[in-house]
Chain A
Amino acid sequence: MLFVPQRFLCLGIRTQLLKTVSSLRSFRFSALATMASKHKNAKRIEGLDSNVWVEFTKVAADPSIVNLGQGLPDISPPSYVKEELAKAAAVDRLNQYTRGFGHPALVKVLSQVYEKICGRKIDPYTDILVTVGGYGSLFSAMQALIEEGDEVIIIEPFYDCYEPMVKMAGAKPVFIPLRDKKAGNSASSADWVLDPTELASKFNSKTKAIILNTPHNPIGKVYTKEELQLIADLCIKHDSLCISDEVYEWLVYTGNKHIKIATLPGMWERTVTIGSAGKTYSVTGWKLGWSIGPQHLIKHLQVVQQNTLYTCSTPLQEALAQAFLIDFKRMDDPDCYFYSLSRELEGKRNRMAQLLQEVGLKPVIPDGGYFMIVDVSALDVDLSDMVEDRPYDYKFVTWMIKSKKLSAIPLTAFCGLETKEQFEKYIRFCFIKQDSTLDAAEMILKKWSKQTA
């Protein structure tokens, strides 16, 4: 309400002011109405605000909780990796911008490492993009190649960001679950398989891409050549792309081999393969990843990069390049970190499995990666007093964090709405943890099993 000063006694002016007051009032009402819409979010992020990690990392940040939830190594990265970063930080030029699509030293060594593995020439400047973690590569690939009208096949359970990223790109996620061929009795990640007919039925003329994750998070499945061939055949038949998330590529355990789908006939030209420094060198906080593929695809990811963040950190890329050079030179040597880390983790995997088995649980032993899922329904924990409408595993993990001081991640965080019932009895543990952490987990689990006995 505007205060009308005494001095405006002339009727004409008062009328004018009154008109002004009322029009201001109606302006304010319409302004409020539009304000609601003007400050509203863009449609592309509608419904994408919740995130399992933001929720559970907050809860597990309490240092009294034994954290086997988020995929966060608490083991130290190899010392030479840290040393290279300290060295890089001391060089003036390395504290300034480098090449947008990837620091020359890094893309060169990446091309060398992957040429050796793939058995084909990889141009460091046109076939590689360095991104902010594997996450950044996934985002760049989706923004570059996926749009409204497209369908993208996602295999469940899936690393949770795939679905919101597909949606943010305006496309429709089409889910297909891995199914336990032992019907609830699985003991190995290899038991979880795709049904070929079911998979074929998901492909159609709108299928722009399928997202493959091998070794798989959360189950730890390492796809066999036959399984990859099945997927490859469908990609070729329907002229679909393959976004292959291979961040755990080095972490495969005895009896298993990581195969790159891009090396299968007809696949190089339609595949973007993603890798991660965080998983390779146990430096998740470096947030460096890369996309490798044919120029005609990578060039579009590069366009996304130049319009999103332009370039990644220079000293980190330089340090990573130096570390890669060290390990490239010993790629035929068992001491190479790519293999030594895998051996170390296999030991931890076995220990984790044993701990869970000793308390009467049946873990699904992973063939790769550093996660293990386990069916907790056998513990028959009464969660009826938890009223919120959430799947069983969410409630279980929340309860377990609170009452057992042990954290994990609920498996339904990794599936679409339709399959929640299938997966809600599983939780995921991360075992890339130092011995003292696993010791603490052991104590909790032993105590727990004594209580339930």
Chain B
Amino acid sequence: MMAQLTGNCNEMEAKMSRPVQAQRLEGLDKNVWVEFVKLAATYPTVNLGQGFPDFSPPDFVKEAFVKAVSGENAMLHQYTRVFGHPALVTILARFFGKLLGQDIDPLTNVMVTVGAYEALFCCFQALVDSGDEVIIIEPYFDCYEPMVKMAGGTPVFIPLRPKTPAPGKLMSSGDWQLDPAELASKFTRRTKAIVLNSPNNPLGKVFSKKEMEIIADLCVKHDVLCFSDEVYEWLVYDGKKHIRIASLPGMWDRTITIGSAGKTFSATGWKVGWMFGPDHLVKHLRTVHQNCVYHCPTAAQEAVAQGFQREFEHYGKPESYFVQLPQELQQKRDRLVQSLLAVGMKPIIPEGTYFLIADLSDFKAEVPNLPDCEEPYDSRFIKWMIKNKGLAAIPVSAFYSTAQKRNFDHLIRFCFVKEEATLKAAEDILQQWKLKKTGP
């Protein structure tokens, strides 16, 4: 009896001394959004931080959603097809098939996910194992790194390196480039995949065809997969063209292309995303999906399907939302650029997305440099700015690996997919700030 009791005690102690959570969560508990979204909500701020529009989705999708939920078809409140609502996967296959010049089967080549976020999660869980390396280009949307780690993989980073712009020109996201030799050196026999994000968040870089070809050649040479996060695919400016890497030779068979209704239709709260690719890869993502969330909500999928149908019919025409939104955003971008220049922050002109990075290096800030402080400068700067200026942004060091954070900690990211009043309010804050510093 005593032995049994002692045995139980030892067992209990052993269990209690182990942490209750699984090891896969090791080091994944911090999250920039959880922290900064909370801050922006706590203080009265003009919020140019988290990436979401503060204006409405276009009427045609809003109406489609309202119709879907209040229409006669009550079955839109019940489960739909696990891998994607038929109407949605059908139009996605048709729409992107045309753009890629590729036969895309709605049932085997397309899957709908809970936002692009879940599509990314499925990629890593389905295809990355312990011992696999995944190349991540810095700066990167912050979730790539923890997702690779949660899948047991090893992230291998390569930074975009800023080149000095031509004299008299403002720096552009296009001036940030990969060194081809450096990139090639990152591919090893353990490299399973490379994550590509074009247009890039937070920098706004739109990879050129030539740049993509360099990446594609390496993928083909080393037989590496490509997870292509193209959520900002419609938001390209100055006549630039968004290239879909899956359309390059040898790439369809090894690429998962990810998209987002949230970014496409300015409805981030709907959390509808998708991916498409070859069946031999997508089938593994289906396995993850069916063991993770299983179905995605039905009504929003129906609305997104209607949205795409409308855009398919208006493709390339002036009334297409995919034409109008980037036009509108380009103007907002230019306006924010001017506001930042006026106060001495150096904007890096984004070729795409609705984000803009400003360089604080020459900005005489009230926040001192503290070299020994663990928290990166940009994070401290923004916290001060939120509390003292009522303006929110996101620290760019959050988009860098631990090794590189120090090298890129004087950059902050502004989001400009905001209505006029918000941008005007931001402008006013910046003007006031400037006046305070320089005097009348």
B21 A144 Cβ-Cβ under 8 A = yes
Q: Is B269 an interface residue (CB 8 A)?
A: yes
Assess whether B129 is in contact with A42, with CB atoms less than 8 Å apart.
Answer: yes
Interface residues of B in 164-200 (CB under 8 A from A): 189, 192
Tell yes or no: B79 within 8 A of A by CB.
yes
Which of these, A35, A42, A168, A307, contacts B127 with CB under 8 Å?
A: A42
Contacts of B75 in A (CB 8 A): 74, 285
Residues B280 and A139 in contact, CB atoms below 8 Å apart: no
Docked CA distance A303–B150 (Å): 11
- How far does the alpha carbon of A239 sit from the alpha carbon of B225 in the complex, in Å? 43
A314 within 8 Å of B (CB atoms): yes
Find chain B residues with CB under 8 A from A98 CB: 269
A94 interface residue per 8 A CB criterion? yes
In the complex, A41→B122 CA distance in Å? 11
Interface stretch (choices B90-98, B290-298, B420-428): B290-298
**Bitwise interface map of A from 227 to 247 toward B, beta carbon under 8 Å scored 1, else 0:** 000000000011101000000
Q: How far is the CA of A279 from the CA of B290 in the complex (A)?
A: 19
Which chain A residues (70-84) contact chain B, with CB distance < 8 Å?
A: 70, 72-74, 76-77, 82-83
Question: Which residues does chain B contribute within 8 Å of A316, judged by CB atoms?
Answer: 297, 300
A96 with B268, Cβ < 8 A, contacts A39-B281, A74-B78, A132-B114 known: yes
* Most A-side CB within 10 Å, residue of B11, B29, B189, B287: B287
Interface residue B62 (Cβ < 8 Å from any Cβ of A): yes
Whole-angstrom CA separation of A93 from B223 in the bound complex = 44
Q: How far is the CB of B416 from chain A (nearest CB, A)?
A: 15
Q: A143 to chain B: which residues have CB within 8 Å?
A: 22, 24-25
Instruction: Give residues of chain A (285-324) contacting chain B, Cβ–Cβ below 8 Å.
Output: 285-288, 296-297, 299-300, 303-304, 306-316
Stretch at the interface among A13-21, A43-51, A213-221, A343-351: A43-51
With A86-B66, A95-B62, A145-B21 as known contacts, state yes or no: A309 contacts B293, CB within 8 Å.
Answer: yes
B114: chain A residues at CB < 8 Å are: 132, 309, 312
When the two chains form their complex, are residues B125 and A72 in contact, meaning their CB atoms are under 8 A apart? no
Query: Contact at A237–B8, with CB atoms within 8 Å?
Result: yes
Q: How far is the CB of B154 from chain A (nearest CB, A)?
A: 14
Interface stretch (choices B48-56, B333-341, B388-396): B48-56
Asked if A34 is at the interface of the complex by the 8 Å CB criterion, the answer is: yes
- A38 CA to B254 CA, complexed, in Å: 10
Does A176 make an interface contact (CB < 8 A)?
no
Are B290 and A72 touching (Cβ within 8 A)?
Answer: no
- Bound together, the chains give a CA A139 to CA B101 distance in angstroms of 37
The interface residues of chain B lying within 8 Å CB-to-CB of A89 are: 62, 65-66, 69
Q: Which residues of A contact B81 (CB under 8 A)?
A: 57
**Contact across chains for B290 and A51 when beta carbons are under 8 A apart:** yes
A329-345 toward B: CB 8 Å interface, digit per residue (1/0)?
00000000000000000
* Number of A-B pairs, beta carbon distance below 8 Å: 235
Contacts of B69 in A (CB 8 A): 82, 85-86, 89
Is B126 part of the binding interface, using a Cβ–Cβ cutoff of 8 Å?
A: yes
A267 close to B (CB within 8 Å): no
Question: Nearest-CB distance from A44 to chain B (Å)?
Answer: 7
- Smallest beta-carbon distance A179→chain B, Å: 27
Beta-carbon contacts under 8 Å, A82-112 to B: 82-83, 85-86, 89-90, 92-101
List, in ascending order, chain A residues with CB within 8 A of B74's CB. Answer: 74, 76-77, 82
Interface centre among A72, A96, A101, A310 (most CB of B within 10 A): A96
Other-chain contact of B82, A31, A39, A54 (Cβ < 8 Å)? A54
B373 in the interface (beta carbon within 8 A): no
CB-CB under 8 A from A282, the residues of chain B are 77
- Collect the chain B residues with CB atoms within 8 Å of residue A147's CB: 22-24
Is the Cβ of B25 less than 8 Å from the Cβ of A310? Answer: no
Bound Cα distance A406, B131 (Å): 49
Does B342 touch A at the CB level, under 8 Å?
Answer: no
Residue A364 interfacial (CB < 8 Å):
no
* Beta-carbon contact of B56 and A285 below 8 Å: no
Residues of B in contact with A, size category: 35 or more
**Residues from chain B with Cβ under 8 Å of A45 in the complex:** 125-126, 284, 287-288, 291
A94, B269: Cβ atoms under 8 Å?
Answer: yes
Complex Cα–Cα for A190 and B358 (A): 66
The answer to whether B296 and A303 have CB atoms under 8 Å apart is no
Q: Nearest CB to that of A310 among chain B residues?
A: B117
Shortest CB-to-CB span from B218 to chain A, Å, is 13
A89 to chain B, nearest CB (A): 5
- Is residue B271 within 8 Å, beta carbon to beta carbon, of the partner chain? yes
How many Å lie between the Cα of A285 and that of B192 in the bound state?
A: 35
A353 within 8 A of B: no
Bits for A1-37, please: 1 = Cβ < 8 Å to B, else 0: 0000000000000000000000000000001001100
- The answer, yes or no, to whether A423 is at the interface (CB within 8 Å) is no
Complex CA gap A85/B297 in Å reads 13
Q: How many angstroms from the CA of A48 to the CA of B290 in the assembled complex?
A: 9
A54 to B80, CA, bound (A): 11
Convert B43-79 into 0s and 1s, putting 1 for each residue whose CB lies closer than 8 angstroms to a CB of A.
Answer: 0000000101111110000100110011000111111
For the complex formed, measure the closest distance between the CB of A29 and the CB atoms of chain B, giving whole angstroms: 12
**Smallest CB separation, A55 vs chain B (Å):** 11
Selected interface stretch from B30-38, B324-332, B345-353? B30-38
In the complex, what's the smallest C-beta–C-beta distance from B348 to chain A, in angstroms? 25
B192 touches A239 (CB 8 A): no
- The answer to whether the Cβ of B267 comes within 8 Å of any Cβ in the partner chain is yes
Q: List residues 106-121 of chain B with CB under 8 A from any CB of chain A.
A: 114-115, 117-118, 121
Report chain B residues within 8 Å CB of A309: 114-115, 117-118, 121, 271, 293
Which one of B12-20, B239-247, B377-385 is at the A interface?
B12-20
> Is residue B143 contacting chain A, with contact meaning CB distance below 8 A?
yes
Q: How far is the CA of A57 from the CA of B267 in the complex (A)?
A: 30
**Contact check: which of B14, B22, B126 meets A169 at CB < 8 Å?**
B22
In the complex, are the beta carbons of B271 and A313 less than 8 A apart?
Answer: yes
Q: How far is the CB of B65 from chain A (nearest CB, A)?
A: 5
Is B28 an interface position by the 8 A CB rule? yes
Asked if A448 CB lies within 8 Å of chain B CBs, one says: no
In the complex, A143→B262 CA distance in Å?
26
Once the chains are docked, how many angstroms separate the CA of A147 from the CA of B147? 17
- Please name all residues of chain B whose beta carbon is closer than 8 Å to the beta carbon of A43 when the two chains form the complex: 129-130
B115 pairs with A287, CB closer than 8 A: no
Q: Which residues of B contact A76 (CB under 8 A)?
A: 74, 77
B215 at the interface (CB under 8 A from A): no
Bound CA span A252–B6, Å = 42
- For residue A311, which residues in chain B have a CB less than 8 angstroms away from its CB? 115, 271
- Residues A269-286 near B (CB distance < 8 A): 282-286
Q: Please judge, given known A-B contacts A41-B126, A77-B74, A92-B56, whether A285 and B66 are in contact too, CB under 8 Å.
A: no
- B225 near A38 with CB under 8 A, answer yes
Contact of B268 among A85, A97, A239, A288 (CB under 8 A): A97
9 A-B pairs whose Cβ atoms sit less than 8 Å apart in the complex? A41-B126, A43-B130, A49-B286, A51-B290, A53-B294, A100-B37, A161-B291, A307-B150, A309-B114
**B residues adjacent to A (C-beta < 8 A):** 8, 11-12, 14-16, 20-25, 28-29, 31, 33-34, 37, 50, 52-57, 62, 65-66, 69-70, 74-82, 114-115, 117-118, 121, 125-130, 143, 146-147, 150-151, 189, 192, 223-225, 254, 262, 266-271, 280-281, 283-284, 286-288, 290-300
20 extra A-B contacts, CB within 8 A, seeds A238-B11, A308-B118: A45-B126, A49-B283, A70-B79, A74-B75, A95-B57, A95-B270, A97-B50, A132-B297, A144-B21, A144-B25, A145-B20, A147-B24, A282-B77, A286-B298, A300-B25, A303-B25, A303-B28, A307-B143, A307-B150, A309-B293
Which 6 pairs show the lowest CB-CB distances between chains A and B? A314-B269, A285-B298, A147-B22, A300-B21, A41-B284, A132-B293
